[in-house]
Amino acid sequence: MENKKYPIQKTEAEWRAELGDERYRILREKGTERPHTGEYNLHFEDGAYVCGACHTPLFKSDSKFESGCGWPSFDEAIDGAVEYVKDHTFGMVRTEILCSNCGSHLGHVFNDGPTKTGQRFCVNSLSVDFEN
């Protein structure tokens, strides 16, 4: 992870012990889960999606929609909950989204959403938990 200071600070060893191997790979090492495999891809209950590492509320359930991409998709984040970082990996130019409270990787945001915001926050299920 970058050396930026976030409100929640833990060593990578602490994060690994707390999150387990797969969640650590996605949240702290910027991994991606396989499409159409995540618990929250087709999940549409009322509540909020919170960071899987620090439990900060990130997305309200009314911003979730089915995009067909295979990952949970939202058309807006809760104000101030997400940090935006240019990502030039894999020969692409994308915008990575991170939890603004702990710096954990959530996924990416694209400007191809079908709703009025025009945004599609494409999030790994293992990057979030759901609370109702």
Residues designated as active site: 122
Q: What DSSP letter does each residue of 35-96 carry, written as one string?
A: TT-STTTT---SSEEEETTT--EEEEGGGEE--SSSS-EES-PPTTSEEEEEE-GGG--EEE
CA separation, residue 104 to residues 6, 9, 44, 70, 78 (Å): 10, 11, 23, 21, 16
